Amino acid sequence: MKPLTVMLVAAEASGDERGAGLISALRRRLGEQVRFIGVGGPRMAELGVASPFDIAELSILGFFDGLMAYGRVKRRVADTVALAEQERPDVAVLIDSWGFTVRVAKALRAAMPQVALVKYVGPQVFAARPGRAKTLAQAVDQLLTIHSFDAPFFEREGLATTFVGNSALMTDFRSASGERFRKSIGAGKDDRVLLVLPGSRPSEVRRLTPAFEGTIRKLRAADPRLHVAVVAADTVADFVRGWVAGLPFRAHLIEGDGPKHDAMLGSTVALACSGTVSIELALAGLPMVIAYRLDPLTYAIAMHMVRTPWITLFNIAARDRIAPEFVQGDANPDTLAAAVARRLEDPALRRRQVERQNEALDLMGRGLGDPSDKAAEAILALMASRA
319/305 Cα distance (integer angstroms)? 18
Distance of CA 65 to the CA centre of its chain: 19
CB 68 within 8 A of CB 52: no
In sequence order, which residues have a C-beta less than 8 Å from that of residue 41 and are 6 or more positions away?
Answer: 10, 12, 13, 15, 16, 51, 55, 56, 234, 235
Instruction: Report the SS3 class of residue 386.
Output: helix
The CATH number corresponding to 4-165+368-386 among 3.40.50.2000, 3.40.50.970, 2.40.50.100, 3.40.50.800 equals 3.40.50.2000
387/312 Cα distance (integer angstroms)? 41
> What's the chain's length in residues?
387
Q: Smallest Cα–Cα separation from 269: which of 320, 339, 335, 174?
A: 339
The H or E element spanning position 271 is: strand 269-273
pLDDT tens for each residue of the chain, 387 residues long: 789 999 999 998 889 999 999 999 999 999 999 999 999 999 999 999 999 998 877 765 444 455 556 778 899 999 999 999 999 999 999 998 888 999 999 999 999 999 999 999 999 887 667 889 999 999 999 999 998 788 999 999 999 999 999 888 889 999 999 999 999 999 999 999 999 999 988 888 999 999 999 999 999 999 999 999 999 998 899 999 999 999 999 999 999 999 999 999 999 999 999 988 999 999 999 999 999 988 666 655 555 555 667 878 899 888 899 999 999 899 999 999 999 999 999 999 999 999 999 999 998 888 888 999 999 999 999 999 998
Q: Where are the domains of the chain?
A: 4-165+368-386, 178-363
3/91 Cα distance (integer angstroms)? 12
DSSP annotation string for 258-302: HHHHHHHHH-SEEEEESSTHHHHHHHTT--EEEEE---HHHHHHH
Q: Smallest Cα–Cα separation from 310: which of 295, 299, 321?
A: 321
What is 178-363's CATH superfamily? Glycogen Phosphorylase B; (3.40.50.2000)
Rg (CA), the chain: 21
In DSSP terms, 289 is beta-bridged to 271
The H or E element spanning position 102 is: helix 98-111
Global pTM?
A: 0.74
Q: Smallest Cα–Cα separation from 375: which of 24, 43, 40, 63?
A: 24
Residue type present at position 51: S
In sequence order, which residues have a C-beta less than 8 Å from that of residue 106 and are 6 or more positions away?
Answer: 139
Residue 248 sits at φ, ψ, to 5 deg, of -85, 15
87/38 Cα distance (integer angstroms)? 9
Q: Hey, do 4-165+368-386 and 178-363 end up sharing a CATH topology, with the first three levels equal?
A: yes
The secondary structure of residue 312, as a DSSP letter, is S
